[in-house]
A and B are shown apart, each in its own frame.
Chain A
Amino acid sequence: MSFFARFAQNRGALVGLIILLLIIAMAILAPLLFPESPWRMVQRPFLPPLSQDGFPLGTDTMGRNVASGLMHGAWVSLLIGLVSTSVALLIGVPLGAIAGYYGGIIDDVLMRFTEFFQTIPNFALAIVLVAIMQPSITSIVLAIAIVSWPPVARLVRAEFMSLRNREYVEAARLVGQSNSTIILRQILPNTLSPIIVLASLMVATAILLESALSFLGLGDPNVMSWGYMIGAARTVIRQAWWLSFFPGVAILLTVLALNLVGEGLDDALNPKLSRER
């Protein structure tokens, strides 16, 4: 069965993929449908949804167009999710690979290091990091990456430990390939599948983390993200519940979609035998 056929077998994954494509479309279409900055104060504050043309989701505390914010926010969420996951991978993959391949003391030290990071409550650590570095897209991405890499390292380590004694690795060693070549050319390509699955789930987590940080007021003030919109609406929730509602639904759908796609990728890339699904 081809990759896509296996993927499509999981109907949830298909639904997820469609939703994800819609979100991406939102991000791309935003500057076309709403060319003005979502920060522009364009109308009376607190307009309810559907009360006026051009403002399908109403306006917020400052008279800004909620629909515009929602669509521009899609781009922000996806960007932060992707970049922070990539950075987390850049940290976790090498660490896990080295630990898993060499074993022994190196493994011990690296694992204690990883364990240490896993003991600290990671959201609390993210808050402290962003606050120390002052909130900006850079500090948020770094903070998310720093709290997210341990599971990557563990996974890669486990994979490397199980693969390092395979015959083709032995063969490569006999032929005289250097360790780094073996790691990069021989073993790593075979670990890509679980890493990809993990990465898709990590993007989802990154989006949740970013929105939580923005909600608490630790977001980049120049960037209108969904989390920011929910946070800004917190004090007026009694007067204008819709300001929190729509961005929250957007986050929910995006994260849901990513999880479904992740499961689909899992099925497609790691076909398992006799699974009662």
Chain B
Amino acid sequence: MKKPLALAISAAALAFTSAAMADDPKEGGVVNTIIQPEPPGLVLGMIQNAPTRTVAGNIYEGLLRYTTDLEPMPQLAESWEVSEDGRTYTFHLREGVTWHDGEAFTADDVVFSADVFHRELNPSARAVLQHVESIEATDDHTVVFTLTQPFGPFLLSFEAGTFTMVPEHLYAGTDFRDNEHNDHPIGTGPFKFSNWERGTVIELVKNEEYYEEGLPYLDGVNWHIIPDGASRAVAFENETIDVLPSGTVENFDIPRLAEMDNVCMTEEGHEYFSPFAMLWMNNREGPTADKRFRQAVMYAMDREFAKDVLWNGLGNVPLSAFGSNARFQNDDLEPYDHNPERARELLDEMGYDGEEITILPLPYGETWTRWAEAVQQNLREVGINVETQATDVGGWNQRLGDWDYDLAFTYLYQYGDPALGISRTYLSDNIAKGSPWNNVEGYENERVDELFNEAATAFPDEEREKLYREVQEILHEDVPVGWLMELGFPTLYRCDVQNLVTSGVGVNDGFKDAWLDR
């Protein structure tokens, strides 16, 4: 019959066109999201806090961006070359880029930002600059970095937070911290700073002169500040908020929110940081100084339970010291499964006499408190006498800095390349009082030092792989720290916010490509 056929054809045509239309980004709209806690400031590089990186990553840019596989993508640098010996990096900058105040972006800005601005203000940048011999602008759009020796992860260091490009014409020769432009950040990014009502909202608006045609699609992004976790969940539920970046909502609320209509969830967007939760174990004194005790702790913990009950099944139980996002991971190692029997055997073997040890939870919220309780129970069940000591951020920092602990929770960013985020935990020359972020456990192994140092500057990658495989074998046996979990930091958002996560840093620069399907 004619009619049904006609109907079928028109239905098909309709479906086809709407499917095609769904892929066409729409312009316009403002996305409402949340930033928690309120950033202390927005000049990226001067301030390295996570909230600043999140908001300001949309105002400022770095030379490169990174995919979720941590492959570099062009941003302010259009293309680049690495010399044969791995010591010279030449970046060709994009032409026609302007700062938000109209001035042109040139190689002088790059040299100033890297060599002067960040050298003075940014510890992570300084760590990278150690390997750099010189930075030169050979013309208006070309910058050459010459290294003292090959440094494998060098290309990974150009994310907006580490080497933010800041305007030389506004900052050169001034006292950076007191510069009048700090209240109104000027960057090259897809969004311009518009307004900051302290305690309420930070408003960003579209950069009409952005160098990428058609981008950004959005008219603006509003970062709301709502101090209470429960209120944030409510705001998302009643649709005043469209995007909940990770960490803005308690884990216990996530399953409920994720099940709502028109709500999508992604775990992507943290590959660059690769947050990794660990248990510091004091290698210097007490029962934890014995390798067998540390192995026993690994066997005693039920990490899958923690993942399921506390983290909603998100994240990943790590095999060993290198997370699954880290380059050169050795996955041939014997896992430390939940095995209380084996734990007891090890404790007997070393002759553990029941000496009481303390555990220091991470004072970052409910989930971490519950986690400490769970681990404490796990340990008690194999006969380890453990007491929790409550502390706040100040006390936690101080005790770790003073090495006054037995077991302590923490989490660090692995930054993808072992030379950037992993080696710092195990190198013996990174042992220094006063910091909770270096080699706090006091692990000293000459061979491990050798391997890490060689691998950082080895060339090419195959060489590095060999060295890193060996170091992981040693670490896996010695268990200098407990490897708790690769944290899954989900981002919740309304499904009509498309294309939100397009890089390894997620919403930190994601709004550039995002569009609203409304």
> Do chains A and B make direct contact within the complex (CB under 8 angstroms)?
yes
Within 8 A of B (CB), among A37-77: 37, 39-41, 45, 61-63
Cβ of A221 and Cβ of B366 under 8 Å apart?
A: no
Indicate which residue in A131, A221, A232, A235 contacts B250 across the interface (CB closer than 8 Å): A235
Q: A45-B309, A134-B395 are in contact. Are A236 and B252 (CB under 8 A)?
A: yes
Determine whether the beta carbon of A235 is less than 8 Å from that of B366: yes
The answer to the question of A103 belonging to the interface, with a C-beta cut-off of 8 Å to chain B, is no
Residues on B with beta carbons closer than 8 Å to the beta carbon of A40: 377
Residue contact B252 to A235, C-beta cutoff 8 Å: yes
Q: Which of B4-12, B157-165, B215-223, B368-376 contacts A (4 or more CB under 8 A)?
A: B368-376
Q: Verify B252–A232 contact, CB threshold 8 A.
A: no
CB <8 Å contact, B252 and A41: no
Of B69-77, B80-88, B386-394, B482-490, the stretch lying at the interface with chain A is B386-394
The residues in B between 244 and 265 inclusive whose CB is less than 8 angstroms from any CB of A are 250, 252-253, 256
* Bound Cα distance A221, B368 (Å): 12
Instruction: Please indicate the chain A residues that have their CB under 8 angstroms from the CB of B369 in the complex.
Output: 217, 221, 232
A131 to B395, CA, bound (A): 10
* Residues of A133-187 whose CB lies within 8 A of B: 134-136
Say whether B377 contacts A39, CB under 8 Å: yes
The interface size of chain B toward A, counting residues with CB under 8 Å, comes to 25
Q: Verify if A239 is at the interface (C-beta below 8 Å from B).
A: yes
Establish whether residues A41 and B374, one from each chain, have CB atoms under 8 Å apart when the complex forms.
yes
B391 touching A239, Cβ below 8 Å: no
Please measure, in the bound complex, the distance between the C-alpha atom of A45 and the C-alpha atom of B309, giving whole angstroms: 8
B15 at the A/B interface (Cβ < 8 Å)? Answer: no
Instruction: Name B373's contact: one of A62, A131, A134, A235 (CB within 8 Å).
Output: A62
The reply to whether B256 and A239 form a contact with Cβ atoms under 8 Å apart is: yes
Binary interface profile of B, 432-447, with partner A (CB < 8 Å = 1, else 0)? Answer: 0000000000000000
Expressed in whole angstroms, the minimum distance between the Cβ of A220 and any Cβ of chain B is: 7
Inter-chain contacts of B391 with A (CB < 8 A): 134
* B229 and A221 within 8 A (CB): no
Q: Which residues of B contact A2 (CB under 8 A)?
A: none
For A63, what are the chain B residues with a Cβ–Cβ distance below 8 Å?
A: 309
Are B377 and A235 in contact, CB atoms less than 8 angstroms apart? no
CB-CB under 8 A from A222, the residues of chain B are 387-388
In angstroms, Cα B395 to Cα A39, docked, is 25
Q: How far is the CA of A131 from the CA of B374 in the complex (A)?
A: 24
Judged by a CB distance under 8 angstroms, whether B51 is at the interface is no
Residues of A within 8 A of B392 (CB): 131, 134
Q: CB-CB < 8 A to A221: which residues of B?
A: 361, 369, 372-373, 388-390
Partner of B374, one of A37, A62, A232, A235: A62
- State A238–B389 Cα separation when bound (angstroms): 29
B333 within 8 A of A: no
Interface flag for B230 (CB, 8 Å): yes
The answer to whether A134 and B389 have CB atoms under 8 Å apart is yes
**Are B370 and A62 in contact, with the CB atoms below 8 A?**
yes
How close is A134's CB to chain B, nearest CB, in angstroms? 6
A134 to B218, CA, bound (A): 48
Count of residues in A whose CB is under 8 Å from the partner chain = 23
A interface majority secondary structure: loop
How many Å lie between the Cα of A62 and that of B373 in the bound state? 9
Please pick, from B252, B376, B377, the residue contacting A61 in the complex, using a CB distance under 8 A: B252
Point out the residues of chain B lying under 8 angstroms from A238, CB to CB. 256
Q: How far is the CB of B360 from chain A (nearest CB, A)?
A: 10
Question: Is A41 touching B377 in the complex (CB atoms < 8 A)?
Answer: yes
Closest CB in chain A relative to B437 CB, distance in Å: 22
Instruction: Evaluate contact between A61 and B256: CB separation under 8 angstroms.
Output: no
1/0 per residue A220-243: CB within 8 Å of B?
Answer: 111000000000100110110000
8 Å CB contact of B309 from A62, A136, A217: A62
Whether B390 and A134, one on each chain, are in contact in the complex, defined by CB atoms closer than 8 angstroms, is yes
Shortest CB-to-CB span from A22 to chain B, Å, is 29
Kindly report which residue of chain B lies nearest to residue A60, judged by CB atoms: B370
Within 8 A of A (CB), among B23-82: none
| Alpha-carbon gap, A17 to B239, bound state (A) | 52
In the complex, which residue of chain A has the Cβ closest to the Cβ of B370?
A: A62
Name the residue on B nearest A240 (C-beta). B252
| A37 / chain B contacts, CB cutoff of 8 Å | 380
A235 touches B390 (CB 8 A): no
Given the interface pairs A39-B373, A221-B372, the reply to whether A235 lies near B389 with Cβ below 8 Å is no
B374 cross-chain contacts in A, Cβ below 8 A: 41, 62
Taking CB atoms, residues of chain B closer than 8 Å to A134 are: 389-392, 395
* Residues from chain B with Cβ under 8 Å of A236 in the complex: 252
Interface centre among B230, B372, B377 (most CB of A within 10 A): B377
> Is B252 touching A239 in the complex (CB atoms < 8 A)?
yes
Q: Given that A45-B309, A134-B391 are known contacts, is A235 also in contact with B256, CB under 8 Å in the complex?
A: no
Least distance between A36 CB and chain B CB atoms (Å) = 11
- Do A235 and B253 touch (CB < 8 A)? yes
Q: Give B24 Cβ to nearest chain A Cβ, in Å.
A: 39
Least CB distance, A133 to chain B, in whole angstroms? 10
CA of A45 to CA of B370, assembled, Å: 12
Write the nearest CB–CB distance from A171 to chain B, whole angstroms: 55
For A232, list chain B residues within 8 Å (CB). 366, 369-370
| Set of chain B residues within 8 Å of A235, measured between Cβ atoms | 229-230, 250, 252-253, 366
Partner of B390, one of A39, A45, A135: A135
Tell me the minimal C-beta distance from B2 to chain A in angstroms.
Answer: 56
Q: Bits for A91-108, please: 1 = Cβ < 8 Å to B, else 0.
A: 000000000000000000
Q: What is the distance, in angstroms, from A203's C-beta to the closest C-beta of chain B?
A: 24
Residues of A within 8 A of B373 (CB): 39, 62, 221
Report how far A235 CA is from B252 CA in the complex, Å.
Answer: 7
Q: A62-B374, A221-B361 are in contact. Are A136 and B252 (CB under 8 A)?
A: no
Nearest B-chain residue to A238, judged by Cβ: B256
Residue of A nearest to B251 (CB): A235
B390→A220 contact, CB < 8 A: yes
Closest to B367 in A: A235
22 contacts between A and B (CB under 8 A): A39-B373, A39-B377, A40-B377, A61-B252, A61-B309, A61-B370, A62-B373, A134-B389, A136-B390, A217-B369, A218-B390, A219-B390, A220-B390, A221-B389, A221-B390, A232-B370, A235-B229, A235-B250, A235-B253, A235-B366, A239-B252, A239-B256
Binding site for B on A (CB under 8 A): 37, 39-41, 45, 61-63, 131, 134-136, 217-222, 232, 235-236, 238-239
Given A134-B392, A232-B366, 11 more A-B residue pairs with CB atoms under 8 Å apart are A39-B373, A39-B376, A61-B252, A61-B370, A62-B309, A131-B392, A217-B369, A220-B390, A221-B388, A222-B388, A235-B230
Closest 6 CB pairs of A and B: A221-B388, A135-B390, A221-B390, A235-B250, A236-B252, A235-B366
